[in-house]
Amino acid sequence: DAKTTQPPSMDCAEGRAANLPCNHSTISGNEYVYWYRQIHSQGPQYIIHGLKNNETNEMASLIITEDRKSSTLILPHATLRDTAVYYCIDVAGGADGLTFGKGTHLIIQP
């Protein structure tokens, strides 16, 4: 079963920042925080990951709290194409598979 907790759905206006929360109440010291998204009828797509520090790439920013019990994925300027299901996953180093939950369905409104 998935170890993370996410809201089932969120709305965000186009052009605004989308902030997606995730709770990692049972994360262990060697587990990374990974974020994927899945656009309708496609496979999941890797977005970003981190261990302790905040991370940024061309797609998004990842904020991890100091106690690592929660994280926030930030899409700085959401577009309609960002409408998707977003998954946060705790992944141990050397893990042999990803355990997905139900994710957050993010809907970008025009």
Q: How far is the CB of 105 from other proteins (least distance, A)?
A: 10
Phi first, then psi, for residue 108 (nearest 5°) are -95, 120
Question: With b meaning 16 or more CB within 10 Å and e meaning fewer, what string describes 19-35?
Answer: ebebbbeebeeebbbbb
Closest to other proteins by CB, 63 or 91:
91
Does 86 interact with other proteins (rule: CB under 8 A)?
no
Place of tokens 């299901």: 85
Please, which of residues 8-47 interact with other proteins by CB under 8 A?
Answer: 32, 34, 41-46
Rounded Cα distance between 40 and 31, Å, is 28
Q: How far is the CB of 99 from other proteins (least distance, A)?
A: 7
Closest to other proteins by CB, 14 or 55:
55
